[in-house]
Amino acid sequence: MHDLQLLKDALIAGDWKTAAAATQAAIAGGVAPLAIVTGHLMPAMDEVGRLFECEEYFVPEMLLSARAMKASMEILRPLLASTGAKPAGRVVIGTVKGDLHDIGKNLVAAMLEGGGFEVIDLGADVAPELFVETVAARQAELVALSALLTVTMGWMRTTIDALTAAGLRHKVKIMVGGAPITQQYADAIGADGYTDNASSAVALARKLVAA
């Protein structure tokens, strides 16, 4: 037993140095990279999500955990690739046009990255055409749209419509989030999923990619 509990604890505590060291130690001890991801990283991520949802964790704790997750994934990714294991999925993420807010979007991107996704971050104030181009060029499986303002959330629908018009809608799953967004709104604009926080976005992304 290569102190994998230590890894999980370090991820939950947001201690990236210990997380990286424990990941190295596990690999050196012969634990399969994929087993580290499914057996330790993912459960740790789920625990962080639970702590956030029951409001024991706030944004800083979640950021630190995401950073620790990323440190561990950076060590594991090349090994996973060499064994033919694929990333959890390829996500194109961005804040929709007219909206410069990116704290929520960055949190979701960090958590998705920590969760093993390949994340293509288009930034904030992203035009529908750029989402369309990127999805086509990079063959993404998932699009994550963010909006903080009630006045910009309409661009989510416009972006989804643009993906449909480009013939790409059936190739991607679309998830939406942001302060003014609700499940009802997500349904109304034809999104595939919605969550109200960054940690549960990872579980949603996994579910959408698997569907």
Partner 1 sequence: MSSLSQWLAGGLLIADGAWGTELQARGLEPGAPPDTWNLTYPDRVAEVARAYVDAGSQVVLTNTFRANAIAMKGDLEAINRAGVEISRRAAAARALVFASIGPTGKLLMAGEIAPEQARAAFDAQARQLADAGADALLAETMSDIEEARLAVAAAKDTGLPVVVSFAFDSGKQKDRTMMGATPEAVAAAMVAAGADAIGANCGAGVEFAAAICRRLRAACGLPIWIKPNAGLPSLEGTSVKYHTTAAFFASHFAALRDAGASFIGACCGSTPDFIRALVKARCGSN
Residue closest to 99 by CA, chosen among 160, 180, 191, 7: 180
Alpha-carbon distance of 124 to 75, in angstroms, equals 29
Q: Nearer Cβ to partner 1, position 167 or 180? A: 180
The answer to whether the CB of 193 falls within 8 A of the CB of 173 is yes
Alpha-carbon distance of 93 to 186, in angstroms, equals 16
Q: How far is the CB of 150 from partner 1 (least distance, A)?
A: 4
Q: Nearer Cβ to partner 1, position 27 or 47? A: 47
Q: How far is the CB of 100 from partner 1 (least distance, A)?
A: 7
Which positions ≥6 away from 9 have C-beta within 8 Å? none
Which positions ≥6 away from 182 have C-beta within 8 Å? 194
Q: Nearer Cβ to partner 1, position 76 or 110? A: 110
Residue closest to 194 by CA, chosen among 168, 92, 203: 203
Site residues (CB under 8 A) for partner 1?
Answer: 55, 57-61, 63, 97-103, 106, 110, 125, 149-155, 180, 182, 184-185
Q: How far is the CB of 30 from partner 1 (least distance, A)?
A: 35
Q: How far is the CB of 107 from partner 1 (least distance, A)?
A: 8
Q: Nearer Cβ to partner 1, position 79 or 122? A: 122
Q: How much of the chain is in helix, strand and coil states, percent to nearest 5? A: 60, 10, 30
Q: How far is the CB of 207 from partner 1 (least distance, A)?
A: 25
Strand (E) or helix (H) holding 119:
strand 118-121
Q: How far is the CB of 66 from partner 1 (least distance, A)?
A: 9
Alpha-carbon distance of 35 to 95, in angstroms, equals 34
* Residue 155: alpha-carbon gap to chain centroid: 21
Q: Nearer Cβ to partner 1, position 19 or 153? A: 153
Q: Nearer Cβ to partner 1, position 119 or 153? A: 153
